[in-house]
Amino acid sequence: MNTRIVITGIGLISAIGKGRRETLEYLLQEKTGVSSIRLLPTKQKELPVGEVPYSNEQLADLASWDINQPITRSALMGIIAAREALQQATLMQGHTKNMAFLNGTTVGGMDITETFYRDEKNKYSFLPFHETGACTTEIANALGGFKYQTTISTACSSALNAVIRGTELLQKGEYKQVLVGGTECLTRFHLNGFRSLMILDSQPCRPFSNDRNGLNLGEGAAYLVLETEQSALERGVEPLAYIAGYGNRSDAYHQTASSPDGEGAYLAMSDAVSMAKVSVSEVDYINAHGTATANNDQSEAMAIKRLFGENKPLVSSTKAFTGHTTSASGSIELAICVLCMQGGFVPANLNMNEQMPESDTLNIAKHTIKTKLRYVLCNAFAFGGNDSSVLLSSEPADLPLLKEIKRAKVVSDKMASDEADIKQYMSAMEARRLSKSMQQLYVVAMEAIKESGLKPTDIDAIICGTRFGCIDYSLQILDAILTSDESDLKPTLFMQSTHNTPASMLAIKTKNHAYNCTYSHCEKSFQDAKQDALDKIQTGMINNALVVGYDEQCEKWQDLMKNSGSEYQPQIRAIVIL
Amino acid sequence: MENLKQQLKEQIISALNLDDLQPSDIQDDAPLFGEGLGLDSIDALELIMLLDKQYGIKIADPKEGKHIFASVSTMADYIMAHSAK
């Protein structure tokens, strides 16, 4: 009976410190880690960020990594945070071989790509590091290797989705312990990308404040050891907190904007709370996504108001401490929630000058509040409207028992065709931003759904496997940034550059609010996506799933891969499983 | 002024990938957002970039775009009043 899933170790690194103790000090002293850019080689020095205050050499030292071996900054931070989590859970080197590792990242090795992409002498040197799966593998190998490893890449909800998937694997009884979380370093790629969307504040960010004017980016990593309560008991390890519920839903509204009523956020939080079978009045604290953009905070406030009504849990966003650590934010903030539950306090929502009208009914914690915390909700929302929420409990809490109750069956399996005609599905106006590959994906997905006898809105899960994501736009972004001295980047490119763009596009165009996830782990991306669908269907969590494989035609990338001696076979495919 | 509007329509079509439209499909005074052409927040950002690249006009606050980009006419008026080139 694996209905009780506990957290037995946490480790983190961010702008507010390396490790639990330093992080706790910053939080309790209400001391921000956001300041001017010191390390990232960018022209955009006027933008405040939450930078981890160690150079790559210093990080390598902390990670006991030989700096002569190239490695991404995300992986270095990941190794440091993961070791701390494993140590707290008293899982020694060698033990990881029986565990699963689920890592959330989107940037992957983009820092190395930026350095070598236009270096004619070393133009292939970045290729082994570029993909998100490579970052996960670097961390996994440094920790001694895992029985299973994968990468979830759903932009800013990646790490929280890794927590959710890891929890499910424990519920199913496949593992006794899993390591889950995410890592993301600052890059010129996404700093300029967010800048092109005009949502970066040139001042320290002010979540939920009426004068908020955008977010500050941050970087960092955090991992949690999750295990079955039974395993923790057997090993004599004290649970730090229990996973009481979780939810992931699609806002199905826009690639970069949240819906005004926060539908996806509302559904995700609602799923998490109802899975735990607790009343909304029992939730003590919400660690909000709270990026401090006009749009997110308005939308999230609406969603919280809708779900909690007159019950007013304390709310704060810790992004004014850490900056928005994008793919890592979910696990960094979940780890912060655990620290708060243990320390008996709600962290401050820094820089709140004047409460915004939309949040007048929210109980925002402007300063640290000492209080006992029983149920704590942690939100992470992402581009594409990928909204996730995890509910923690300080006392034993039961999750639904997951056991196989049926066999799943693939009922349609289709490959995209070059002749795909999007016009039968949407107007030219609606299709104008979709690349040819994205149009092919939409058409093949609709054909697969049609053959299954379902309607697009009947689909219970949209899961994508992609090795390189939106590689064509990503290369165009790199070219734009690196040739224009970081001045010239089209927002239309950046809004469609994350790995979860294809799965989100399908949800948005079909108004599907169901579970939405993207796996990006080397050659087995599609396989891992399909396994997620199979697990959910076979345990009766859902009735069906659309699984797509997406690796696009891109001449430049295909040439690079071929000339470097690597394999790349673009393929767009859609299957429906019942 | 008429030349500027015609040029603007061509630039809008190109910047926003409105490949199926002809400049003559866009009325001078028809709303570009909402009920009119149906553009969204990302298009507004693209138009801000267009003003910067083509006319040397910088808009720091995307909220300002709402009035400037109401229609091709309002855009042309704004360019006439602020153009640095």
| CA-CA-CA-CA dihedral for B74, B77, B78, B83, to nearest 10 | 150
Instruction: Please tell me the distance in Å from A491's CA to the nearest CA on chain B.
Output: 7
CA angle A107, A221, A301 (to 5 degrees): 85
Q: What Cα–Cα distance (Å) separates residue A66 from each residue in A58, A70, A552?
A: 11, 9, 35
- Show the tokens assigned to A149: 């490893």
Q: What are phi and psi of A243, to 5 degrees?
A: -80, 120
Query: Average of pLDDT values for B7-20?
Result: 93
Contact A492 B46 (CB under 8 A): yes
| Rounded-to-integer distance, Cα A43 and Cα A48, Å | 12
Which residues are bridge partners to A474 per DSSP? none
Q: How far apart are CA A536 and CA A389, in angstroms?
A: 18
Q: Which of B20, B42, B49 sits opposite A428 (nearest CB)?
A: B20
What Rg value do the Cα atoms of chain A yield, rounded?
A: 22
CA atoms of A522 and A529, how far apart (whole Å): 12
The DSSP code sequence of A289-335 is -----HHHHHHHHHHHHHHHTT---EEE--HHHH-B-GGGHHHHHHH
Mutate to test the interface with A, among B16, B37, B45, B53 (most CBs of A within 10 A): B45
Sign of the alpha-carbon dihedral angle for B54, B57, B61, B65: negative
Per-residue three-class SS string for A80-101: HHHHHHHHHCCCCCCHHHHCEE
pLDDT at A528: 98
Sorted by sequence, the CB contacts under 8 Å of residue A552 that are 6+ apart come out as A435, A437, A438, A468, A470, A471, A472, A570, A572
Quote ipTM for the complex.
0.92
A254–B16 C-beta distance less than 8 A: no
Report CA-CA distances (Å) from A87 to A10, A97, A555. 9, 15, 46
- From chain A, pick out residues whose CB is under 8 angstroms from the CB of B62: 198
User: What pLDDT score does A14 carry?
Assistant: 98
Q: What distance in Å separates the CA atoms of residue A26 and residue A24, rounded to the nearest whole number? A: 6
Amino acid at B46: E
Residues composing chain A: 578
What residues contact residue B29 under an 8 Å CB cut-off, 6+ apart?
Answer: B71, B72, B73
Q: Which residue has the tokens 């970039």?
A: B49
Burial per residue of A121-156, b for 16 or more beta-carbon CB atoms within 10 angstroms, e otherwise: eeeebbbebbbbbbbbbbbbebbeebebbbbbbbbb
What integer pLDDT is reported at residue B84 of this predicted model? 61
Q: CB within 8 A of B52, min separation 6: which ones?
A: B58, B59
pLDDT in tens, A456-513: 999 999 999 999 999 999 999 999 999 989 988 999 999 999 999 999 999 999 999 9
In the numeric block, the tokens 């694996």 are attached to: A2
Q: In angstroms, rounded to a whole number, what is the distance separating the alpha carbons of residues A6 and A118?
A: 46
The Cα–Cα gap between A536 and A543 comes to 8
**Tokens linked to A554:** 């891109």
What spatial distance separates the first Cα and last Cα of chain A, rounded to whole Å? 26
Amino acid occupying residue A175: Y
A398 SS3 class? coil
CB contact under 8 A, B42 and A429: no
CB atoms within 10 A of CB A45: 11
Structure tokens at A490: 């089209």
Instruction: Report DSSP letters for A9-51, one per residue.
Output: EEEEEETTEESHHHHHHHHHTT----B--SSS--S-TTS-BB-
Q: What tokens does A299 get?
A: 């939308």
Distance CA A412, CA A410 (A): 6
Give yes or no for a contact between A409 and A280, defined as CB atoms under 8 angstroms apart: no
Are B42 and A432 in contact (CB < 8 Å)? no
Query: Closest to A197 (Cβ–Cβ): which among B37, B38, B45?
Result: B45
pLDDT tens, position by position, A201-223: 999 999 999 999 999 999 999 99
Give Cβ neighbours of residue B20 (< 8 Å, ≥ 6 apart).
A428, A429, A432
d(CA A307, CA A426): 34
Q: What is the DSSP string of A114-126?
A: HHHTT-GGGTTTT
Using CA atoms, how far apart are residues A534 and A514, in angstroms rounded to an integer? 16
Q: How far is B54 from chain A (nearest CA, A)?
A: 13
**Residue among A23, A26, A56, A62 nearest A38 (CA):** A56
Please name the amino acid found at residue A375: Y
Q: Which residues of B touch A257 (CB under 8 A)?
A: 40-41
Q: How close A244 comes to chain B (CA, Å)?
A: 37
| Cβ contact A429–B38 (<8 Å) | yes
CB A368 within 8 A of CB A27: yes
Measuring CA to CA, how many Å separate B65 from each of A161, A426, A518, B49, B77? 36, 28, 34, 11, 13
Residues in contact with A575: Cβ distance below 8 Å, sequence separation at least 6, in sequence order: A410, A412, A413, A414, A448, A530, A546, A547, A548
Note down pLDDT in tens along chain A; length 578 residues.
589 999 999 999 999 999 999 999 999 999 999 999 999 999 999 999 999 999 999 999 999 999 999 999 999 999 999 999 999 999 988 999 999 999 999 999 999 999 999 998 988 999 999 999 999 999 999 999 999 999 999 999 999 999 999 999 999 999 999 999 999 999 999 999 999 999 999 999 999 999 999 999 999 999 999 999 999 999 999 999 999 999 999 999 999 999 999 999 999 999 999 999 999 999 999 999 999 999 999 999 999 999 999 999 999 999 999 999 999 999 999 999 999 999 999 999 999 999 888 777 799 999 999 999 999 999 999 999 999 999 999 999 999 999 999 999 999 999 999 988 999 999 988 999 999 999 999 999 999 999 999 999 999 999 999 999 999 999 999 999 999 899 889 999 999 999 999 999 999 999 999 999 999 999 999 999 999 999 999 999 999 999 999 999 999 999 999 999 998 989 999 999 99
CA A377 – CA A279 distance, rounded (Å): 13
Nearest to A198 among B16, B40, B62 (CB): B62
Pairwise CB contact (< 8 Å): B45 & A432: no
Q: Cβ contacts (< 8 Å) between B38 and chain A: which residues?
A: 429
The CA-based angle A195-B33-B8, given to 5 degrees, is 80
Helices A501-510 and A436-452, packing angle to 10 deg? 60
Residue among A346, A352, A339 nearest A369 (CA)? A346
CA atoms within a 13 Å half-sphere pointing along the CA-CB vector of A197: 25
